[in-house]
Structure 1
Amino acid sequence: MALRDSSAPETAGPGQAAATAPAPAERDRLLAGAHHDPHALLGAHPVPGGTLFRALRPNARAVSVLVDGMANPLVSEGGGLFAAVLPYPEIPPYTLLVTYDEEEREVHDPYRFLPALGELDLHLIREGRHEQLWQALGAEPMTHEGVAGTRFTVWAPNAQGVRVAGDFTYWDGTQYPMRSLGASGVWELFLPGIGEGDRYKFEITSRHGHRFLKADPMARRTEVPPDTASVVTVSHYAWGDARWMAHRGDTPVHEAPFSVYEVHLPSWRPGLTYRQLADELTAYVVEMGFTHVELMPVAGHPFSGSWGYQVTSYYAPTPRLGSPDDFRYLVDALHRAGIGVIMDWVPAHFPKDDWALARFDGDPLYEPGNATRAEHPDWGTYEFDYGRTEVRNFLVANAVYWCEEFHIDGLRVDAVASMLYLDYSRDSGQWEPNVFGGREDLDAVAFLQEMNATVYRRCPGVVTIAEESTAWDGVTRPTDSGGLGFGLKWNMGWMHDSLQYIQKDPVHRKYHHNEMTFSMVYAYSENYVLPISHDEVVHGKRALVSKMPGDWWQRRANHRAYLGFMWAHPGKQLLFMGQEFAQGAEWAQEQGPEWWLLADDYHSAGDHRGVRALVRDLNALYRATPALWQRDTDPGGFRWVLGDAAEDNVFAFLRYAADGTPLLAVSNLSPVVREDYRLPVPEEVPAWRELLNTDDAGYGGGGIPVGAPGALEPADGGLRLTLPPLATVFLGPLR
């Protein structure tokens, strides 16, 4: 819509005095969107002879000031400016009557309001300590000075000027310049009459004179990609998970059952919304017995092919599946069913989309100013500037936001190693050492410590989990002891070594025996999760069952035995969707899990149902057996029974509950039956019984029992069993 501009000012009418026009430089800056204090020129101001009223209304034919029902016309000053001095000794309550070609509107003047952001908020923002930053920045519907509208605030310290543009201005920001709130770098404007559902962006004029539109970094709702506008939103959701929230922290997570189903929501069952997933996903996870779901990144991302790992809208759930309240409904449904919700969180990098965070106010802002340091070499993205107070605050508050506003129970932090090391994926000459000459990113360390300490202080019962692939010391050590402060860490070493082993033909496994035992050398150095995640079943790595050697029967047997070993091993466990029923193809986000493999009319459906039944029973046994989770971080909770049987491809160990109750796990990872196999078990257990056998015929196995039904009694300090081929068995004391 073109601006209406008068070629010459109009003359003042009866009862008016001509307004003194602003200095040309001031006027030009205002109309160019480069003025730091538009309220000094617009609105109502006492002057000799009355009150000066000035309004900026592009495309208006006329503007009048309404006082007690009386319309006082303003005079056009050109460029969409209208002004007059009216004979009011004090500024009266007033509105504006704006006439356009097609209509006349009575509106409140945004430039008559005091700032809607308090000094305490600004102080906390400057200090980088605003732990509920989303309540201070962004678009906040409110009633301000008795008028309903929306407060817009944005941090853009390098900008010459910032304006609000939206569908309510036909995406022209001229009408609504914002004011700078001093050294905070925050710009603010309260817009009466703007509310829920209105779309907006910030029109920024950089210090270099460039003008561009940016989505709100703090937007709590966004348009559905490929559209990129931010959306004013208010939550109306009434939570029903009070019992869950009150008790989720009763038991420390490292001493509680923790079996995780990793899910990519858009592809779990393609086409389902958050609310539909609340029914179907919740029912499935309950049936399968997992204690938690882990959601691949939910925050807004423009490119679905990134699976959510290139985030542009850190405070908004992806709108592809519904509204923010719809996502709350999903979390609430899982909680009411007794399922915890972990969310992948990505503070390591962000994409370069020109409408989002990159060079937000025309200069590096969220990213470091050093171009080499800012570039993430692996993903074509920018890294965050963890040393900048406001950026650190943006991320720490974001972690708190998901936990407080969406009741998230855990944050799995992606790509921690890429944050910790200055030379991550960089060659010599592409990085600079820290002040001590080392390769550690001290700012990133401080940020992670602050994030963890803040989340644990504010959100009881929440766990933070690090995806950290190196031997960094103290990832799960408390911050007051110099650690990073995470609750759990993905055990990438166990994942790599055990998958290397299980992919070998059994005849060669004896040469790789230590790859299955080495994890116990460091099992208690951190609080671990054993992850078979999406990363292990994409990009040519093959699905879990397809990694296995042998024919179809052997691959499934290996798959089942491996899962049994995983559930028995110290540490929590995580399994990516589709692997619980031995999907043979790699995961593809376009189609999701291959549910048709379980259909009645598929000839091998029984094979896949058998594996799924095993996972369900593993979870049931796991939940019911404290020995499998209660002492995951206590070396006294584990004892090798047989760790050196390399020639036999056999592993046997005991897990102990806090009260000393043992569980015996035995894996025979050779394709032969081992009869009368002796295991030296504790004398204090007079008799054992089989609890679970991955070779059970119901799981698709051969149905070979470990012994006669009933009691299995040791003799001469040993328990003699029949070990099924490519199988893991669990035994417990006969009570």
Structure 2
Amino acid sequence: MDTTETSAARPLTVLRTSPAPTSHAAAPTVAAGHARVPEVPLDAQDRQRLLSGTHHDPHAVLGAHPVPGGVAFVVLRPYAQAVTLLTGGRSVALHDMGDGFFSVVLPLDATPAYRLRATYDGRDGEHEDPYRFLPALAEFDLHLIGEGRHEELWKALGAHPMTHQGVLGTRFTVWAPHASGVRVCGDFCHWDGAAYPMRSLGSTGVWELFVPGIGEGALYKFDITRPDGTHTVRADPMARRAEVPPATASVVTRSAHVWEDAEWMAHRADRPVHQAPFSVYEVHLESWRPGLSYRQLADQLTDYVTDAGFTHVELLPVAEYPFSGSWGYQVTGFYAPTSRLGTPDDFKYLVDTLHQAGIGVILDWVPAHFPKDDWALATFDGEHLYEPADPRRAEHPDWGTLTFDYGRKEVRNFLVANATYWCEEFHVDGLRVDAVASMLYLDYSREEGQWSPNESGGRENLDAVAFLQEMNATLYRRCPGVVTIAEESTAWDGVTRATHDTGPGGLGGLGFGMKWNMGWSHDSLEYIKRDPVHRVYHHGEMTFSMVYAYSENYVLPVSHDEVVHGKQALVSKVPGDWWQRRANHRAYLGFMWAHPGKQLLFMGQEFAQGAEWSQERGLDWGLLDPAYPAEPDHRGVLDLVRDLNDEYRATPALWERDTEPAGFSWITADAAEDNVLAFLRFAADGTPLLAACNFSPVVRRDYPLGVPDSVTVWREILNTDLACYGGGDAGNRGPLKPDPEAAHGHPASLRVTLPPLATVWLRPE
């Protein structure tokens, strides 16, 4: 389709009528005469293209246009019985040209202000003519879209209620470069878009139409004519609100939320995240307490997380998705918070409430793939648009989805702007980027012959690398204080290295702030699942993480992925009777909170829920009910998590030098026979914390641990075996003074009681 064609290419031919009287609006309607301009009343090609939805410039035909002898008015109102022009206090009946076209020519020197009255089944309705308005999208927006550099793309594309040329309505814009035509349809036109063809705005591939009288709450989609002439009706890729699934329409929306988190936002960037406390509670909002809305969660989740002491929540994806069983990881509405729990403003209220309580918000973000639903992004305008044309790169073999075409500048812009959108419009404090490894490797989950190498013959997806670098660089530049976190399961070099810092691979760092330490999760959980008698042979699974602990900035995740699909909840993974399971669970959490890196714990694990997480059932909150016989068992674990978080926040040694080797020192890493680990953490001023873990079921009294001689008195500040947590209450009462006896390479030593299946923390008094 030649999008450079103009209305000057063909003369506009319309019906002409006698002059209308200049009487008051209440005067009788003047009927159109039957004098005709030469030839046909409407160019046959224009008529056919408008009716078939393939006209690139409907404004050149419809609306008001100067013609020899006056001004021609052409209206397309399918199914209307009559259309009347209202202008200057006059009403003029338009001539019915068939197929829903109506026209008249008035002997005027200039185009007047006018409205239309259409009659359907004997009922009249007045409206503005959409085709009398200039484009409502600025040329600069089109330039940036064409360059793939519109960092606020959501303000240019999509549906935006606005006042345009003094009239209230909604501007609809959509990127569909392969389309032969695009029309808006919705509940305002009984889902028949014939009356609302959009105009192409040139080579950018953007289509636009300002529709007067349409406002917040209207449902809409785009009726796209594919290059082969067939039609497809699609939800808006840039919709900022969607219908509640399984309905799939987009919803016109505007925000009225007034933010009250100014203090949080002003100080969010005061301290780099990797040098600050960062203890994360991972939440699936729909199943945390099933049935709660965003606004109800704002109260209940905020209170719970505040009491438990976490610094942040991380929310499984909230962008709209059709299938609940995907937990949000198959997104169809990248710019719309799911309507299952409320409106976009309701979600803003949730974030705002958390911020006012001093709790940060991280979102799971899914730019690695999208589903194939025929009303969403797949072959959006009849061609491969958001996905690569090469099926070897388009198909995601693991999930039956499609990957994004990261090499296409408009697609990259769609995703980069989306990352910015969540952080700027919703004040989100960071993004955890899902499935990064599947983006980075062209042969990810593919066999020989199922993938094509890059231009250098390698397996790296260079387009994906460039996209991630651009996304991170843009986000850190525009949104001070945010953090991006990669779920990257391989040894890709430089995930958290700066984008300008070229490493051994020559590609530069990806620019993430942190990376999930999947190796630590796998190894430590494998260890804890073993019977203590066998742990002696697998001691390295608990110590190996320190070999690479400073290769990236790490988060230690015990995430939703670890407690579903037969993997069992954390407390159910470990062997032994119920007491031993809970003891192992508590000891593991104490080890996790003391290990270099930030902590992430999936909901339910903080109170030792024994059942796997179920999206349908939600959490077993009854375990915390005082009427439940085993309530102290679970309440004790929750109390431990609260104390872990409180001590963690109060102890800079546990977070201030997380990414510096000088912030950690082993005391003993080789006590495999004893199932004991002990190490020191150091604050920036050198103040130490001692953590010792005993993963055997026996008490080890007077256990020698080497310590610096600069500390004269140590005191136990945390013990996972305390009776209040459900333990046996073995431990170290009162101050502990080192002996001047060297041990473990240190000049002094402590004699410490290590309770069975427990972790203790000690610090200088």
TM-score, structure 1 length as denominator?
0.98
Partner of 1:728: 759
Separation in structure 2 between the aligned mates of residue 97 and residue 173 of structure 1, nearest angstrom? 19
Checking the alignment, whether the CA contact within 8 Å between 2:637 and 2:726 is kept in structure 1 is: yes
Partner of 2:90: 70
Shift of 1:711: 3.7
Partner of 1:146: 166
Of the three residues 710, 727, 731, the one matched with 1:705 is 731
Shift of 1:106: 2.0
Could you list the per-position Cα deviations for residues 75-94 of structure 1 after superposition, in whole angstroms to 9, with x for gaps in the alignment? 11111000121111211111
Answering whether residue 518 of structure 2 is matched by residue 492 of structure 1, we say yes
Q: What residue identity is the alignment partner of 1:721?
A: V
Of the three residues 524, 528, 545, the one matched with 2:554 is 528
Q: Secondary structure at the match of 1:141?
A: strand
Separation in structure 1 between the aligned mates of residue 711 and residue 734 of structure 2, nearest angstrom? 17
Checking the alignment, whether the CA contact within 8 Å between 2:15 and 2:36 is kept in structure 1 is: no
Of the three residues 338, 350, 370, the one matched with 1:330 is 350
Answering whether residue 719 of structure 2 is matched by residue 693 of structure 1, we say yes
5+ residue gaps, structure 2: 1-13, 21-32, 502-507, 742-747
Of the three residues 143, 153, 178, the one matched with 1:133 is 153
Separation in structure 2 between the aligned mates of residue 102 and residue 318 of structure 1, nearest angstrom? 40
Answering whether residue 637 of structure 2 is matched by residue 638 of structure 1, we say no
Of the three residues 556, 573, 586, the one matched with 1:547 is 573
Partner of 2:604: 578
Q: Secondary structure at the match of 1:725?
A: coil
Partner of 2:143: 123
Shift of 1:22: 2.7
Q: What residue identity is the alignment partner of 2:310?
A: F
Partner of 1:23: 43
Stretch moving more, 57-66 or 722-731: 57-66
- Residue pairs, 1:552-701, within 5 angstroms: 552-701=578-727
Checking the alignment, whether the CA contact within 8 Å between 1:18 and 1:85 is kept in structure 2 is: no
Partner of 2:196: 176
Partner of 1:718: 749
Q: What residue identity is the alignment partner of 2:609?
A: Q
Q: What residue identity is the alignment partner of 2:200?
A: S
Checking the alignment, whether the CA contact within 8 Å between 1:10 and 1:76 is kept in structure 2 is: no
Separation in structure 2 between the aligned mates of residue 14 and residue 470 of structure 1, nearest angstrom? 77
Could you list the per-position Cα deviations for residues 267-313 of structure 1 after superposition, in whole angstroms to 9, with x for gaps in the alignment? 00000000000000000000000000000000000111100000000
- Residue pairs, 1:125-274, within 5 angstroms: 125-274=145-294
Could you list the per-position Cα deviations for residues 55-114 of structure 1 after superposition, in whole angstroms to 9, with x for gaps in the alignment? 001111111221111012211111100012111121111111222223212211110111
Checking the alignment, whether the CA contact within 8 Å between 1:65 and 1:95 is kept in structure 2 is: yes
Shift of 1:714: 3.2
Could you list the per-position Cα deviations for residues 493-535 of structure 1 after superposition, in whole angstroms to 9, with x for gaps in the alignment? 1000101111111111111111111100100000000000000
Of the three residues 397, 400, 408, the one matched with 1:377 is 397
Of the three residues 454, 459, 462, the one matched with 1:439 is 459
Separation in structure 1 between the aligned mates of residue 418 and residue 587 of structure 2, nearest angstrom? 40
Checking the alignment, whether the CA contact within 8 Å between 2:19 and 2:106 is kept in structure 1 is: no
Could you list the per-position Cα deviations for residues 616-643 of structure 1 after superposition, in whole angstroms to 9, with x for gaps in the alignment? 0000000000000000001000000011
TM-score, structure 2 length as denominator?
0.94
Separation in structure 1 between the aligned mates of residue 672 and residue 141 of structure 2, nearest angstrom? 63
Q: What residue identity is the alignment partner of 1:730?
A: W
Separation in structure 1 between the aligned mates of residue 120 and residue 193 of structure 2, nearest angstrom? 18
Shift of 1:14: 5.8
Could you list the per-position Cα deviations for residues 334-392 of structure 1 after superposition, in whole angstroms to 9, with x for gaps in the alignment? 00000000000000000011001111011111011112221100000000000001000
Checking the alignment, whether the CA contact within 8 Å between 2:16 and 2:105 is kept in structure 1 is: no
Separation in structure 1 between the aligned mates of residue 65 and residue 127 of structure 2, nearest angstrom? 18
Partner of 2:745: none
Partner of 2:134: 114
Checking the alignment, whether the CA contact within 8 Å between 2:15 and 2:103 is kept in structure 1 is: no
Of the three residues 97, 100, 111, the one matched with 2:117 is 97
Shift of 1:722: 1.3
Checking the alignment, whether the CA contact within 8 Å between 1:687 and 1:714 is kept in structure 2 is: no
Partner of 1:6: none
Of the three residues 279, 293, 306, the one matched with 2:326 is 306
Separation in structure 2 between the aligned mates of residue 666 and residue 624 of structure 1, nearest angstrom? 19
Paired residues, what number? 725
Separation in structure 2 between the aligned mates of residue 446 and residue 21 of structure 1, nearest angstrom? 54
Q: Secondary structure at the match of 1:680?
A: strand
Separation in structure 1 between the aligned mates of residue 17 and residue 753 of structure 2, nearest angstrom? 105
Checking the alignment, whether the CA contact within 8 Å between 1:235 and 1:325 is kept in structure 2 is: yes
CA distance 1:523–1:377, change in 2 (3 Å)? same
Could you list the per-position Cα deviations for residues 178-202 of structure 1 after superposition, in whole angstroms to 9, with x for gaps in the alignment? 0000100000000000000000000
Q: What residue identity is the alignment partner of 2:177?
A: P
Answering whether residue 408 of structure 2 is matched by residue 388 of structure 1, we say yes
The percent of aligned pairs where both chains have the same amino acid is 72
Q: What residue identity is the alignment partner of 2:730?
A: I
Checking the alignment, whether the CA contact within 8 Å between 1:293 and 1:342 is kept in structure 2 is: yes
Separation in structure 2 between the aligned mates of residue 45 and residue 12 of structure 1, nearest angstrom? 15
Of the three residues 475, 482, 494, the one matched with 1:455 is 475
Checking the alignment, whether the CA contact within 8 Å between 1:18 and 1:84 is kept in structure 2 is: no
CA distance 1:398–1:82, change in 2 (3 Å)? same
Stretch moving more, 592-601 or 318-327: 592-601
Separation in structure 1 between the aligned mates of residue 94 and residue 753 of structure 2, nearest angstrom? 97
Partner of 1:276: 296
Q: What residue identity is the alignment partner of 2:97?
A: E
Of the three residues 484, 501, 504, the one matched with 2:530 is 504
Shift of 1:11: 8.6
Shift of 1:10: 8.8
Q: What residue identity is the alignment partner of 1:76?
A: D
Q: What residue identity is the alignment partner of 1:348?
A: A
Shift of 1:710: 2.9
Partner of 2:3: none
Q: Secondary structure at the match of 1:446?
A: helix
Q: What residue identity is the alignment partner of 1:535?
A: D
Separation in structure 2 between the aligned mates of residue 509 and residue 714 of structure 1, nearest angstrom? 30
Shift of 1:600: 1.5
